[in-house]
Structure 1
Amino acid sequence: MKRLPALWLCTLLVHAGLAQAEPSRIGALAGQWAADVSRLPIPEPMRPKRVTITFADAEGGRLATRVEVVDASGHVLFAESVAELNGTAVPVKGDLEADMAAASMPAPNVLVMQLVRGGVPGSTRVYTLSPDHQSLVETAANVGDDGRPFMRTHQFSRVR
Structure 2
Amino acid sequence: MTRRRGAEAGDQNVQWLKELIAECEAQGTTLPTRGNALNHKNILERVGPNGVGRHVLQDNEEFVEVLRAYAFEKGLAYSFRSSIAPDEDVDPAARDCAEMVSAARLREAQMRLAQADRRNAELRAENANLRAQILRGSEVAELIALGGRIKPGGS
Tell me if both proteins adopt one fold, taking TM over 0.5 as the criterion.
no
Task: Output the TM-score relative to the length of structure 1.
Answer: 0.20
Task: Output the TM-score relative to the length of structure 2.
Answer: 0.20
Q: Give the structure with higher Rg (CA).
A: 2
Higher strand proportion: 1
Higher helix proportion: 2
